[in-house]
Structure 1
Amino acid sequence: MVKTRTGKFAVVMGSFDNLTQAETWLQQMKQQKEEEAVSQLYIDHWMSNANPK
């Protein structure tokens, strides 16, 4: 789960070969500026016009 700026939570799913790979990616994301980190994410939703806040 990811906590959004508004304090709500979102379910997040990903695909990594192992836990180490996932944790390494997370640390890299934390070191980036927010805009750079967000640009690497793919947001999918059952409503085509939905955007997380």
Structure 2
Amino acid sequence: MRTHSPFLNHIGEFMLTKQYSLTAVDTYLKWISFYTHFHDKRHPASLGDNEVI
């Protein structure tokens, strides 16, 4: 479950300590990755109300 992102690795490790299933962790990480790439890797603090749901 290693990714190229230290951020995603941290989230995945945290979720595993909370006993999420590997399938759930993988799904969450894929959606987070998709979301961040969709918004051109901008920090959430720089996104507007319309972009953060």
Query: Which bin holds the TM-score, normalised by the shorter protein?
Result: 0.3 to 0.5
Normalised to the residue count of structure 2, the TM-score between the two structures is: 0.37
Identify which of structures 1 and 2 has the higher relative contact order when contacts are C-alpha pairs closer than 8 Å and 6+ apart. Answer: 1
Normalised to the residue count of structure 1, the TM-score between the two structures is: 0.37
In terms of fraction of residues, the more helix-rich structure is 2
